[in-house]
Structure 1
C-alpha cells in the first residue's frame, strides 16, 4: 500500500523548556491534523526579558499522512 504525506511548519512556545515547547506543538498538531507521523525541529529560539530567559520557542516541520 502506498501513501502520500504532507509537511507543514508550526511554531510553539513554552515558558518551561524547549522540550515542553515541542510537546505543546506536537499535541496541538495531533488535535488538528490526522495521521501525524513525525516532526523535525528546524529551529530553537530563546526569548530574553530583563536579562533572563522568558520563553523557549521551537519551529518544527510536522509530517502527516493524507487520507485515502
Structure 2
C-alpha cells in the first residue's frame, strides 16, 4: 500500500438554502478545477440575516487534495 501526501486549501461556499447546500456547492465547484479531492473539514459556518430571517449561509472548508505520485 502506498503512502499518500495531501495538500490542503480553504474554500468558502454559499447558499440561500442551507449550510449543507453551501458545502455541496463549494465542493462541486472545486471539483471542476481541482483533481484528487479526498476529504473536507468544516472550519467555520456563518450567515447573513435580513429582516430577522436567514438570507444565506456561508461555510468555509478545509479541503484535502491527494498529491499525484
Which TM-score applies when normalising by structure 1?
Answer: 0.92
Q: Deviations over 1:2-44 (max 9, x none)?
A: 2221000000000000010010011111111100000000111
Give the structure 2 partner of residue 3 of structure 1.
4
Q: Which residue in 2 is equivalent to 1:14?
A: 15
**Which segments of structure 1 move beyond 3 Å, counting only runs of 4 or more?**
none
Question: Contact between 1:44 and 1:57, CA under 8 Å: does it hold in 2?
Answer: yes
RMSD: 0.9
Which segments of 5 or more consecutive residues in structure 2 lack a partner in the other structure? none
SS in 1 for 2:8: strand
Q: TM-score, normalised by structure 2?
A: 0.91
**Hey, what's the Cα distance between the residues in 2 that align with 1:32 and 1:62?**
13
Matched positions, count: 68
